Amino acid sequence: MNNFNDLKSLYRAVFNTPNGEKVLQDLQAQFNPDEIFVKGDADETHINLGKREAFIYINQLLRVDDE
């Protein structure tokens, strides 16, 4: 799927529901975008960065303005 508006609509259909909001809250708890760096462990830091990117991607699709 490469149509941005279709993709945005799909994400909104999933996450803009009561259950979707609960899932999004769980994702934020599991993949805390504020806890990135692990002192002395570059691998774990990279893993956390990947989790953060996924969470931010979802949030950006939910918040982008309709044009």
pLDDT digits 0-9 by tens, 25-53: 999 888 887 889 999 999 999 999 999 99
Q: Chain-wide mean pLDDT for the chain?
A: 89
Rounded CA gap, 3 and 19, in Å?
25
Its domain, for residue 58, covers 4-63
CA 57 from centroid of its chain's CA atoms = 5
Structural domains of the chain, count: 1
